[in-house]
Amino acid sequence: MNIRLAHPVWDWILALLFFLFFPFAVLLGLYYPNVILEQGISHRIFYFHVPVAWVALYGPGISAVCAVIYLITKDRIWDTLSLSANKISLLFAIGVLFSGPIWAYLAWGTPWDSTDARLNSFFVLVLSLVAYFLLRFLIVDHNKKYIFSAFLSLFCTVNAILTWGAIRWVDNPGNHPSSVLGKKGMDPDMRLSFWAGVLAYHLLFLILYRVVYRLDKMQAIKDELQD
């Protein structure tokens, strides 16, 4: 088990970029762009909520790729990489579940719209991620745990894809806005703040992925020594 994500020098580079850019992106989203009149100041949540949601949807895809490689090679390191990606996906998904109802209540007058396809599909994604970790906790046999986890990672990825397409492929009856990358686009101030937030939270994802992976790798080595 000797795969490393990159040379350690990238830890310093990523940390420098993060501490220089992340506060700037957060403050930019809070103070720079004009707000939508119908939503008022609550619109500022957009610059946190949407970038975090994107990462929560990308994470299962990374996990699924690692899971497929594990099923092919049976190399434990790929299960570890898959596990780490799902941990961060669940963390970001929880951030979406907390920020979304706040924005929804201020913008729509209700914290949850049960008719909204995107909200319901995202909630199913969160449940599937919780089921992934519950399964890993309950299954004692390591080989079975890794195999079932790999297939459940694929299931989580299917849920993430369906969530991404919920406002693109179906006639959504709920209040959820259309894709931010739609034909209407965004004003320049909103576009700058949005993409700065996307970059900032992806930097956060990379840093967390490297840290969590190392912790999971140490635990995997301890498990191997016990076996």
pLDDT digits (tens, 9 = 90+) for 65-115: 999 999 999 888 999 999 999 999 999 999 988 887 877 777 677 777 667
Quickly count: other Cβ atoms within 10 Å of residue 151's Cβ: 13
Average pLDDT taken over every residue of the chain: 82
Is 25 part of any domain? no
For residue 189, the one-letter residue type is D
Mean per-residue pLDDT, 203-219 = 89
User: How many domains does the chain fold into?
Assistant: 1
Contact (CB, 8 A) for 60 and 153: yes
Helical packing angle, 117-138 and 46-73, nearest 10°: 40
Q: What is the pLDDT of residue 73?
A: 92
Is 23 part of any domain? no
Is 177 part of any domain? no
Determine the Cα angle at 15 with ends 14 and 17, to 5°: 65
Is 3 part of any domain? no
Q: Is residue 224 predicted with pLDDT exceeding 70?
A: yes
Distance of CA 112 to the CA centre of its chain: 20
Q: pLDDT for 29-77, tens place per residue? A: 888 877 765 566 667 788 888 889 888 888 899 999 999 999 999 888 9
Task: State the residue range of the domain holding 143.
Answer: 45-170+193-226
